[in-house]
């Protein structure tokens, strides 16, 4: 290298070559390859320039270095611009090639659902659990004593005709009511008692509106000074939580051997709000549960002093609530495991 | 119970509308299940006076000019044979609604609306009606049974609505009576309640009669079973004339759906409905030995009842016998041998109390029920028994159908029919209710109910009528007060006196729910099946004769054979659920059920059987396989943080090579497998189906497993992928266990490939990823190599396994 002019000429030539070469490139990959080739420290047009340093006279070395570096950074910038341009184009093409019809169906992992009975049961347990009720689950097979006699329904009692009982032996039967659990709890535990007892119950009834097996939830409170007003207060809370805020209750006289007074509890129709509709058969009210003040004979039979303690009990039909809430029209559907039913009712 | 309003009004003044009456009854505990006007289908029918009546030539018709009062004079074509000028008949105006009859003019075929018609070219502006067309029978209205026009009384006002004249404006209430109020199983019983709730006067039915001097000498009644027949009253009636009952009585019986038979029989049916006391009348001429014996039947003894059916009795049935033979099945039905006939000239009236459980059980056991047995099953009180006999004798006189002798036998066990005293504390009554009912209200209510209350300080003394056997304590008094005072007076409160308690699901219940949620996440939906199933279910599973599942508890009175055994496995119903879905075109799905199986400790049952909580899972569809259901089973283990192991196994209802026993520790907890093709074919199932059953109760011990945090390894874990060649009968679990056992540092062993093929001949290869986790020191490369060498040596020795080259 004789002088700086010669150097300038050479660098310009390289520049021109790169310029013309760049114009021929059309992909980011070709830019990358070309750049690699140019910058190769041994063979590259630009990369090898520094190797020439040895041949440069000392007084020119500094200037040579500066100009080569300028050249390098010019080339870098040119490549980067080129690269960016191609990358942007290529990304655009890639995106275009991946265009989707977003209205096509989702890919999902199939999910299963809890049985409507379990959903209702959980809702009821949540409500009463927060009020301090324990959950007691009795057995499906009971003795005549716990299912009837201890509930003030002795052998000759006409109330036995109210429920067609499945018998397994003289002594054992399929419980006809979760009330059987009341006695077990009161025998095992002294007041204060607050329990709900969910479970399957059985009655010899099989037609369009009856299933020989269904589910009930029994509730029992025994403590000092418990009255009918407390029953009403608690049920008011319960129906608001399960059927919605505007729902009210109405008590009317009824009869269960183990409560006195006994009441049927109607809720104001949560669909028409009392105006009268198909659901409430035009009355504005829907019968949902039976309840009453625990008969003192029942308390005494369990060794609880009825002068000191009193209580109330109530029984809810789980399917009844499920059918009302979800509008299921046939109780049998709940026991057929038809997936079109099971996968339809969700929390 | 059906109650005609007109009949009820005999005993109580009713000054409110039918709607108000329904509301009042409802509020005090008597639900009116239905109420309807007797003539609810009839409208716009008035009294028509036929002014002119000319035969239409060559027809059976008459062309009439009929005065319809306000509706004017109408031309009517009439085909009845009894139409005549000057007669008054029901006239259905245009737009009227009456019953349509068939060609016989007797059979009702529906309701029709009258339009303007034309008969043989003559316009007709309405229709003159027969009794049938108004829904009347001869029993409901004298003359209504005639197949022609119904003739109205001469004093009927022309143009007036016909309904009040023929009693079609009467109302029938169908009232539900709760089991604690047998005293209300009658029209008079309801009348007592109506009088109390309306605060109006109650009128007792007439009970007076005159006995003649005539006696049936030597007649005796022996009650040999006073425990089930506490009272038996018999009265001899002679000079009996069997005839039709008077119109008023026939009408009342007809209104409640009973067919009048003859005066004497009708009296017994009338009293059953009026007072709630079943009665019976025997033709005395057919009673042998001048006596009545009330006794338990002997085993095998026979009786033919009034419905001409022969029954074979046992010693638990009570019979009424004469000196020789049974003449009635007590409280249920009379015997054919002493039936009242047209020729009957003397009768014995019976009014008795039979205990409710005896009648209930006999009625059920013999499959024979009647209005009488229904009343006795609910309970009849002796106060009413005594009253009913007086009433019957009164009616005998009133109807003039016989003479009342002075032979009256009353056998009783000494129960009082006088009011009994009940003392209660007013404070306690209010204590039950949680409100303070004003004292004068309490006195008014209890007075109205006939309790003649007297108050001294806090002590309330009631004279409870003998028919109110349900009244025992202050709680009963509280109920009487509040049902009349009104439940709307109850003010909601929230247990201000109760202790605060903790509540909610316990660990078992919570865990159970967690498992259910996990199964739902695995795509399975929860089903619930009956706790009983069919014996055929056990056959479906091809269970052997001595299989434990065959020891099942039988229902004594199942609805049918399909629901007759308490289930001992959840599998058959799950298979059937999968079948049901497939039949309905659902060809893929996952279902699970959590329910009990019932395992008797002895049969017949002597103690509570075990109720064991079990989980059953069913998966079906093209995408399912043994391993997909295994994955669902694994979610249970994952939820509980435990590990299941699987062993090759067999089940009579599963694929012989696709069945596994599920183990947890050393305990067998269930099985899984593919439902055998024979069952798939038998049930016409359309896709492969898989089933698993797990004894959840055996897993309960893991529910309170404490999670302990395992610190993360300090150093890099080492993973080695190893491919082994082995005999085909060696299982994945065997290799996996051998690998795990070879070194304590192994934290994970996972199969990632299996190959069987030509290259390997009769062998197969299985490839595993093995992860070694370091302890306190970092692994050196040679350490791991050493581990792998150890591993290979173990596998070689145990299963003749070699590394695939």
Nearest Cα residue in chain A from B530: A213
| Residue A175 contacts residue A165 (beta carbons within 8 Å) | no
Same domain, yes or no: B252 and B320: yes
Q: Is A267 on the interface with B (CB under 8 A)?
A: no
How many beta-carbon pairs below 8 A join chains A and B? 262
Q: Is A107 on the interface with B (CB under 8 A)?
A: no
- A139/B604 CB distance under 8 A: no
Same domain, yes or no: B636 and B724: no
- B581/A339 CB distance under 8 A: yes
Q: What is the pLDDT of residues A320-340, one digit of tens each?
A: 999 988 888 889 999 999 999
What are the sequence ranges of the domains in chain A?
Answer: 4-97, 116-342
Same domain, yes or no: B88 and B24: no
pLDDT score recorded for residue A272:
84
Which of A267-281, B191-205, B532-546 bottoms out in mean pLDDT, i.e. has the lowest? Answer: A267-281
**CATH number, domain with residue B649:** 3.30.930.10
Which of A134-148, A162-176, B678-692 bottoms out in mean pLDDT, i.e. has the lowest? Answer: A162-176
Same domain, yes or no: B162 and B178: no
Q: Tell which A residues from 269 to 298 touch B, by Cβ distance under 8 Å.
A: 293, 295-296
Which residues of chain A make contact with B604, given a CB cutoff of 8 A?
Answer: 169
Q: Where on the phi/psi map is residue B676: left (φ > 0), alpha (ψ -120 to 50), or beta?
A: beta
Euclidean distance between the first and the last CA atom of chain A, given in angstroms as a whole number: 86
How much is the average pLDDT of A71-84?
88
Minimal Cα–Cα distance from A111 to chain B, Å?
4
Domain assignment present for B205? no
Give the span between the Cα atoms of B228 and A137, in whole angstroms: 39
Confidence at A258, pLDDT banded by 50, 70, 90:
very high
Same domain, yes or no: B286 and B358: yes
Q: Quick one: fold of A116-342?
A: BirA Bifunctional Protein; domain 2 (3.30.930)
Tokens of B689: 């189906």
Q: Is A4 on the interface with B (CB under 8 A)?
A: no
**CATH number, domain with residue B23:** 3.30.56.10
Q: Output the CA–CA distances (angstroms, integers) from residue B724 to A51, B721, B738, B766, B791, in the order listed.
A: 57, 10, 13, 5, 11
Q: Is B712 on the interface with A (CB under 8 A)?
A: no
Same domain, yes or no: B97 and B185: no
- A158/B28 CB distance under 8 A: no
Which residues of chain A make contact with B591, given a CB cutoff of 8 A?
Answer: 337, 339, 342
Q: Is A263 on the interface with B (CB under 8 A)?
A: yes
Closest residue to B433, CB basis, from A130, A228, A257: A228
Q: Is B517 on the interface with A (CB under 8 A)?
A: yes
Which of B64-68, B225-229, B365-369, B801-805 bottoms out in mean pLDDT, i.e. has the lowest? Answer: B801-805
Same domain, yes or no: B742 and B684: no
Please give the sequence-ordered ranges of beta strands (E in DSSP) within chain A, or none if there are none: 134-135, 141-143, 172-174, 193-202, 213-223, 249-256, 259-268, 285-294, 310-317
Largest CA distance in chain B: 131
Same domain, yes or no: B185 and B67: no
User: Is pLDDT of B117 > 90?
Assistant: no
- Nearest partner of B650 among B640, B658, B642, judged by Cα: B658
For helices A28-39 and A4-24, the axis angle rounded to 10 degrees is: 160
Q: Tell which B residues from 434 to 453 touch A, by Cβ distance under 8 Å.
A: 434-435
* Sheet with A193-202, side-by-side order of all strands: A134-135, A193-202, A213-223, A310-317, A285-294, A259-268, A249-256
Tokens of B23: 């509301």
- B586/A337 CB distance under 8 A: no
Euclidean distance between the first and the last CA atom of chain B, given in angstroms as a whole number: 91
Q: What are phi and psi of B548, to 5 degrees?
A: -60, -30
Neighbours of B17 (CB within 10 A): 9
Q: What is the pLDDT of residues A26-66, one digit of tens each?
A: 888 888 888 888 888 888 888 887 777 777 788 888 888 88
How much is the average pLDDT of B494-513?
85
Q: What is the pLDDT of residues B165-201, one digit of tens each?
A: 999 999 999 999 998 899 999 999 999 999 999 999 9
How much is the average pLDDT of A80-94?
89
Give the span between the Cα atoms of B369 and B272, in whole angstroms: 15
pLDDT score recorded for residue B304:
94
User: Is pLDDT of A107 > 90?
Assistant: no
Same domain, yes or no: B751 and B778: yes
pLDDT score recorded for residue A79:
87
Give chain B's mean pLDDT: 93
pLDDT score recorded for residue A162:
58
The answer to whether ipTM exceeds 0.85 is no
How much is the average pLDDT of B11-26?
94
B195-224 per-residue burial string, b: 16 or more CB within 10 A, e: under 16: bbbbebebeebeeebeeeeeebeebebebe
- A339/B586 CB distance under 8 A: yes
Return the residue in A138, A141, A160, A264 with the most chain B beta carbons within 10 A, the one to mutate for interface testing. Answer: A141
Q: Output the CA–CA distances (angstroms, integers) from residue A207 to A116, A279, A332, B112, in the order listed.
A: 21, 20, 9, 34
Nearest Cα residue in chain B from A157: B357
How much is the average pLDDT of B341-369?
92
Which residues of chain A make contact with B687, given a CB cutoff of 8 A?
Answer: none
Q: What is the pLDDT of residues B702-752, one digit of tens each?
A: 998 777 888 888 888 889 999 999 998 899 989 999 999 988 899 999 999
Minimal Cα–Cα distance from B692 to chain A, Å?
16
**CATH number, domain with residue B371:** 3.50.40.10
User: Is pLDDT of B140 > 80?
Assistant: yes
Nearest Cα residue in chain B from A340: B586
Give chain A's mean pLDDT: 88
Q: What is the pLDDT of residues A300-314, one digit of tens each?
A: 999 999 999 999 999
- A141/B566 CB distance under 8 A: yes
**Residues linked to residue A214 through DSSP beta bridges, in sequence order:** A201
Q: Is B529 on the interface with A (CB under 8 A)?
A: yes
Confidence at B778, pLDDT banded by 50, 70, 90:
confident
Q: What sign does the CA torsion over B355, B356, B357, B362 have?
A: positive
pLDDT score recorded for residue A15:
86
User: Is pLDDT of B216 > 80?
Assistant: yes
- B611/A139 CB distance under 8 A: yes
- B584/A111 CB distance under 8 A: no
Domain assignment present for B713? no
Q: Is B532 on the interface with A (CB under 8 A)?
A: yes
Q: What is the pLDDT of residues B406-416, one digit of tens each?
A: 999 999 888 88
For helices A116-130 and A318-326, the axis angle rounded to 10 degrees is: 110
Q: Is B581 on the interface with A (CB under 8 A)?
A: yes
Q: Tokens 């709680």 label which residue?
A: B475
Last residue of a domain, one of B653, B670, B702: B702
Nearest Cα residue in chain B from A259: B475
Last residue of a domain, one of B355, B388, B412: B412
* Burial class of residue B753 (count of CB atoms within 10 Å of its CB; 0-12, 13-18, 19+): exposed
Q: Tell which B residues from 168 to 207 touch A, by Cβ distance under 8 Å.
A: 178-182
User: Is pLDDT of B463 > 80?
Assistant: yes
DSSP character string of B652-673: TTEEEEEEEEEEETTEEEEEEE
pLDDT score recorded for residue B528:
97
Confidence at A10, pLDDT banded by 50, 70, 90:
confident
How much is the average pLDDT of B585-609?
95
- A111/B521 CB distance under 8 A: yes
Same domain, yes or no: B406 and B474: no
- B356/A156 CB distance under 8 A: yes
Which residues of chain A make contact with B622, given a CB cutoff of 8 A?
Answer: none
Q: What is the pLDDT of residues B390-405, one digit of tens each?
A: 999 999 999 999 999 9
Q: Tokens 């099971």 label which residue?
A: A342
Which residues of chain A make contact with B503, given a CB cutoff of 8 A?
Answer: 128-135, 194
Closest residue to A112, CB basis, from B525, B556, B609: B525
- A202/B528 CB distance under 8 A: no
Domain count, chain B: 6
| Residue B34 contacts residue B174 (beta carbons within 8 Å) | yes
What is the radius of gyration, based on Cα positions, of chain A?
43
Q: Tokens 């610190």 label which residue?
A: B711
For helices B439-448 and B187-198, the axis angle rounded to 10 degrees is: 150
How much is the average pLDDT of B289-298?
94
Q: Output the CA–CA distances (angstroms, integers) from residue A314 to A117, A120, A132, B193, B506, in the order listed.
A: 18, 16, 16, 27, 22
Largest CA distance in chain A: 132
| Residue A270 contacts residue A264 (beta carbons within 8 Å) | no
Centroid of chain to Cα A34: 58
Q: Is A108 on the interface with B (CB under 8 A)?
A: no
Q: Is B708 on the interface with A (CB under 8 A)?
A: no
User: Is pLDDT of B692 > 80?
Assistant: yes
User: Is pLDDT of A163 > 70?
Assistant: no
Same domain, yes or no: B464 and B513: no
Q: What is the pLDDT of residues B68-89, one digit of tens each?
A: 999 899 999 998 999 999 999 9
Q: Is B504 on the interface with A (CB under 8 A)?
A: yes
Which residues of chain A make contact with B180, given a CB cutoff of 8 A?
Answer: 159, 255, 257
Same domain, yes or no: B549 and B677: yes
Query: Which stretches of B287-381 are DSSP H helices?
Result: 356-366, 371-378
Minimal Cα–Cα distance from B550 to chain A, Å?
16
Q: What sign does the CA torsion over B4, B5, B8, B11 have?
A: negative
Residue range of the domain that includes B30: 2-38+171-198
- A132/B503 CB distance under 8 A: yes
The continuous run of DSSP H or E covering B647 comes out as strand B645-648
**CATH number, domain with residue B760:** 3.30.70.380
pLDDT score recorded for residue B158:
95
């Amino acid at each position: 290298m004789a002088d700086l002019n010669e150097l300038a000429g050479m660098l310009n030539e390289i520049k021109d070559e790169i310029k013309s070469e760049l114009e021929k490139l059309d992909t980011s990959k070709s830019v990358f390859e070309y750049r690699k080739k140019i910058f190769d420290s041994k063979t590259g047009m630009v990369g090898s320039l520094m190797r020439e340093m040895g041949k440069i006279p000392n007084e020119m070395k500094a200037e040579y270095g500066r100009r080569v570096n300028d050249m390098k950074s010019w080339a870098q910038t040119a490549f980067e611009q080129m690269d960016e341009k191609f990358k942007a184009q290529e990304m655009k093409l890639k995106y275009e090639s991946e265009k989707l019809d977003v209205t096509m169906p989702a890919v999902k992992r199939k999910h299963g659902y809890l049985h409507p009975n379990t959903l209702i049961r959980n809702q009821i347990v949540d409500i009463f659990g927060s009020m301090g009720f324990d959950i007691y689950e009795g057995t499906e097979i009971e003795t005549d004593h716990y299912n009837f006699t201890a509930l003030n329904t002795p052998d000759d009692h006409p109330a036995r005709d109210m429920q067609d009982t499945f018998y397994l032996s003289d002594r054992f039967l399929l419980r006809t009511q979760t009330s059987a659990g009341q006695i077990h709890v009161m025998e095992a535990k002294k007041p204060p008692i607050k329990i709900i007892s969910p479970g399957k119950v059985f009655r010899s009834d099989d037609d369009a509106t009856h299933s020989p097996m269904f589910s009930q939830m029994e509730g029992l409170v025994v403590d000092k000074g418990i009255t009918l007003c407390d029953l009403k207060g608690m049920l008011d809370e319960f129906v608001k939580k399960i059927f919605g805020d505007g729902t009210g209750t109405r008590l009317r006289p009824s009869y269960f051997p183990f409560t006195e007074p006994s009441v049927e509890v109607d809720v104001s129709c949560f669909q028409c709000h009392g105006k009268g509709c198909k659901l409430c058969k035009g009355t504005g009210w829907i019968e949902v549960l039976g309840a009453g003040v625990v008969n003192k004979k029942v308390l005494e039979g369990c060794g609880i002093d009825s002068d000191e303690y009193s209580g109330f009990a109530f029984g809810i039909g789980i399917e009844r609530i499920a059918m009302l809430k979800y509008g299921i029209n046939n109780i049998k559907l709940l026991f057929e495991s038809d997936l079109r039913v099971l996968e339809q009712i969700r929390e | 119970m059906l109650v005609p309003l007109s009949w009820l009004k005999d005993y109580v003044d009713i000054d409110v509308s039918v709607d108000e009456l329904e509301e009042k009854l409802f509020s005090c505990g008597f639900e009116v299940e239905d109420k309807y006007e007797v003539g609810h289908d009839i409208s716009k029918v008035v009294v028509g006076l036929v002014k002119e009546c000319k035969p239409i030539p060559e027809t059976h018709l008459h062309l009439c000019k009929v005065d319809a009062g306000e509706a004017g004079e109408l031309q009517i074509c009439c085909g009845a044979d009894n139409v005549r000028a000057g007669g008054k008949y029901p006239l259905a105006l245009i737009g009227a609604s009456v019953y349509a009859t068939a060609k016989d003019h007797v059979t009702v075929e529906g309701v029709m609306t009258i339009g303007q018609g034309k008969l043989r070219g003559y316009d007709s502006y309405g229709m003159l009606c027969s009794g049938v067309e108004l829904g009347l029978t001869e029993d409901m209205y004298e003359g209504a049974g005639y197949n022609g026009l119904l003739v109205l009384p001469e004093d009927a006002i022309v143009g007036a609505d016909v309904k009040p004249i023929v009693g079609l404006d009467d109302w029938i209430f169908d009232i539900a009576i709760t089991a604690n109020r047998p005293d209300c199983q009658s029209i008079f019983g309801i009348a007592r309640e109506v009088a109390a709730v309306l605060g109006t006067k109650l009128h007792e039915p007439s009970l007076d009669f005159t006995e003649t001097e005539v006696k049936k000498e030597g007649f005796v009644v022996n009650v040999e079973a006073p425990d089930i027949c506490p009272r038996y009253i018999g009265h001899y009636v002679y000079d009996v004339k069997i005839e039709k009952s008077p119109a008023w009585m026939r009408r009342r019986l007809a209104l409640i759906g009973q067919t009048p038979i003859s005066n004497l029989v009708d009296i017994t049916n009338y009293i059953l409905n009026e007072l709630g006391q079943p009665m019976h009348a025997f033709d005395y001429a057919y009673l042998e030995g001048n006596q009545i014996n009330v006794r338990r039947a002997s085993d095998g003894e026979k009786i033919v009842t009034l419905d001409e059916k022969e029954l074979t009795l046992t010693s638990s049935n009570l019979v009424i016998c004469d000196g020789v033979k049974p003449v009635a099945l007590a409280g249920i039905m009379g015997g054919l041998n002493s039936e009242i006939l047209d020729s009957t000239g003397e009768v014995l009236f019976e009014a008795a109390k039979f205990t409710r459980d005896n009648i209930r059980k006999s009625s059920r056991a013999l499959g024979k029920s009647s209005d009488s047995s229904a009343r006795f099953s609910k309970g009849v009180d002796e106060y009413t028994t005594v009253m009913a006999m007086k009433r019957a004798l009164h009616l005998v006189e009133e109807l003039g159908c016989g003479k009342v002798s002075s032979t009256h036998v009353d056998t009783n066990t000494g129960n009082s029919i006088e009011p009994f005293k009940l003392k209660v504390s007013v404070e306690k009554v209010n204590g039950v209710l949680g409100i303070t009912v004003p004292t004068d209200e309490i006195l008014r209510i209890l007075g109205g109910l006939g309790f003649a209350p007297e108050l001294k300080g806090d002590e309330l003394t009631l004279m409870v009528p003998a028919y109110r056997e349900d009244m025992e304590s202050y709680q009963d008094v509280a109920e009487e007060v509040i049902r009349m005072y009104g439940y709307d007076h109850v003010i909601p409160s929230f247990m201000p006196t109760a202790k605060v308690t903790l509540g909610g699901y316990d660990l078992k219940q919570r865990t159970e729910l967690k498992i259910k949620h996990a199964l739902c996440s695995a795509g399975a939906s929860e089903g619930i099946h009956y706790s009983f199933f069919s014996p055929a279910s056990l056959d479906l599973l091809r269970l052997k004769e001595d299989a434990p599942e065959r020891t099942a508890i039988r229902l004594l009175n199942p609805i049918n054979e399909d629901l007759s055994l308490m289930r001992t496995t959840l599998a058959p119903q799950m298979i059937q659920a999968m079948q049901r879905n497939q039949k309905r075109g659902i060809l893929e799905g996952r279902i699970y059920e959590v329910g009990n199986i019932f395992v008797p400790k002895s049969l017949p049952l002597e103690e509570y059987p075990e109720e064991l909580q079990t989980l059953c899972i069913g998966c079906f569809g093209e995408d399912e396989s043994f391993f997909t259901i295994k994955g669902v089973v694994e979610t249970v283990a994952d939820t509980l943080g435990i590990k299941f192991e699987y062993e090759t196994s067999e089940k009579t209802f599963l694929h012989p090579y696709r069945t596994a026993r599920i183990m947890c520790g050393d305990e067998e907890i269930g099985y899984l497998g593919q439902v055998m093709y024979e069952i798939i074919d038998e049930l016409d199932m359309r896709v492969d189906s898989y089933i698993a059953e797990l004894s959840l109760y055996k897993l309960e011990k893991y529910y309170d497993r404490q999670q302990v945090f395992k610190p993360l390894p300090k150093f890099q874990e080492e993973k080695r992928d190893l491919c082994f060649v082995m005999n085909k009968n060696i299982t994945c679990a065997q290799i996996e266990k051998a690998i795990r056992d070879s070194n304590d540092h192994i934290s994970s062993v996972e199969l990632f490939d299996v190959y069987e093929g030509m290259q390997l001949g009769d062998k197969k290869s299985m490839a595993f990823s093995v992860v070694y986790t370091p302890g306190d020191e970092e692994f050196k490369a040679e350490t791991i190599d050493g581990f792998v060498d150890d591993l290979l040596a173990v596998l070689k020795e145990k299963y003749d396994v070699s590394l695939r080259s």
